[in-house]
Structures are given as structure tokens and as C-alpha cells.
Amino acid sequence: MKKKILLIGARGEIGRTLLSKLKTSYKVFPTSSKKNKNFLYLKLEGKTDKWPKLEKIDIIIFLGGITKILECERDKVGSKKINVYGLKKVIKMYKNSKTQIIFFFNNCCI
């Protein structure tokens, strides 16, 4: 059986590339903060009860967040909600499972 990967931030540059490479060998659940029929809708700043409910996930690759420096500077509170607290919510949600979490971040926006 293929391992299941939750790919948070699948519409970004790295996410799109990873999605195209991973989907041949894994069952990938790509997410986006924008509604799209090919992606699970996931707003990191939203409440976790609104997040998609998924069966056992083996791996989470966390690429989501605001990466544009000017946008982070203009909205420090909003970018912290997404970039810091969004990741913390994912970790908290899966900490008692055997899910491996891999995250990437850009330190200029945290």
C-alpha cells in the first residue's frame, strides 16, 4: 500500500514540484488556502475543526505560509498566525500519532 502524504502548501513553487514527483509513488493529499477542486482546502489561520479530516497520514510535508517579505512586514500579526501558529497547530494535531512531519521555513517571515 502506498504511504499517504499530506502536502501543505502544494500550490507554491516547491510544493508544485514535489507534488508532481511524489504522486507517482505515494498517495498525496495536496492542500491550498484557495478553494480548488484538485486540492484540499486548508486555511492555516483557521480553526482546525474546519480542516479536512483524513485517515491515517504517514508523512506531512509542511511548505505552507507567507513567504513574501513585504507582505510579512505589512501584516506581522497575520503572517505570524499562518507561519508560526499554523505549524504549531499541525504539530499539536499529529503529535500523538506516528506521522512524520517535515517542515521548511523561510526565517525572514517568522
Instruction: List the chain pLDDT tens, one digit each, 110 residues.
Output: 899 999 999 998 899 999 999 999 999 999 999 998 999 999 999 899 889 888 799 999 999 888 888 988 999 999 999 989 999 999 998 888 899 999 887 655 55
Delimit the domains of the chain by residue range.
Answer: 4-109
Cα–Cα distance list, 52 to 12, 40, 73, 77, 106 (Å): 19, 7, 30, 25, 25
Q: Which CATH number fits domain 4-109: 3.40.50.720, 3.40.605.10, 3.40.190.10, 3.30.365.10?
A: 3.40.50.720
Query: What is the Cα–Cα distance from 15 to 11, expressed in whole angstroms?
Result: 6
Q: Which three cell numbers stand for residue 109?
A: 517571515
Structure pTM?
0.89
